Amino acid sequence: MGVAGSRHPEAMYLQSAVETSPALDLKTAARLVGYLVLGGLGAVALLVPLAGVLSYLAAPLYPVLLGWFLYGGVLGVTRHPRMARIYLLANVGILVATVIASVATLIRLAVSAPQPDTAVTAPLYLALVLVGLAIGITLGVRRRTPLAQSLDATSRSGI
């Protein structure tokens, strides 16, 4: 088939690709699981008020929420700090808004016996979750890299 030591170009390409790709270490795996869990919780926390307000009209948004969830997995494996920060803070904003709405509902139920009118509370819940999403995205976009990290990156690049 050939002289000993000679290789096919495809085999050399695959070997070089395997050697240069970063290994899936424990830190990357933990980041992947963390992003997927947080993205899944955020997607479900956004899905509940969407389905409550829009009913069956929310069905076309389900693939968008699935994409939101899967994007967390992509961010967990790749290194894109700005988008990861936006993704994390957006999900945290959704979850904080959901917790606030849940606590407010529990307090209202404890104070007065009748159940709240869902025609009023469902749109308010959706609005609160969307405000949490917007605040999280805004904080993620506006937040800068800490000075120590930016100086370290500058010194590594030789600037």
Quote the CA–CA distance of 67 and 130 in Å, as a whole number.
Answer: 18
pTM to 2 decimal places: 0.71
Q: Which residue has the higher pLDDT, 141 or 6?
A: 141
The DSSP symbol for 145 reads P
pLDDT band at 154 (very low <50, low <70, confident <90, very high): very low
Stretch 114-139: mean pLDDT: 89
Question: CA angle, 130 as apex, 93 and 55 as ends, to 5°?
Answer: 125
Q: Pick the closest to residue 86 from 38, 41, 49, 20 (CA basis).
A: 38
Is pLDDT at 113 greater than 60 in this prediction? Answer: yes
What kind and span of H or E run contains 51? helix 26-54
**Residue-level pLDDT at 20:** 44
pLDDT band at 15 (very low <50, low <70, confident <90, very high): low
The CA radius of gyration of the chain, in Å to the nearest whole number, is 23
What kind and span of H or E run contains 126? helix 118-142
Quote the CA–CA distance of 45 and 68 in Å, as a whole number.
Answer: 12
CA 151 to each of CA 141, 144, 156, 159: distance values in angstroms, whole numbers, following the listed order: 20, 13, 9, 10
**Residue-level pLDDT at 151:** 41
pLDDT band at 17 (very low <50, low <70, confident <90, very high): very low
**Residue-level pLDDT at 156:** 53
Mutual angle of helices 26-54 and 62-77, in 10-degree steps: 170
**Residue-level pLDDT at 35:** 92
Q: Whole-number mean pLDDT of the chain?
A: 80
Q: Pick the closest to residue 77 from 35, 120, 45, 106 (CA basis).
A: 35
> Which two tokens mark 113?
């016996």
CA 11 to each of CA 2, 16, 21: distance values in angstroms, whole numbers, following the listed order: 14, 9, 15
**Residue-level pLDDT at 121:** 85
Stretch 68-78: mean pLDDT: 88
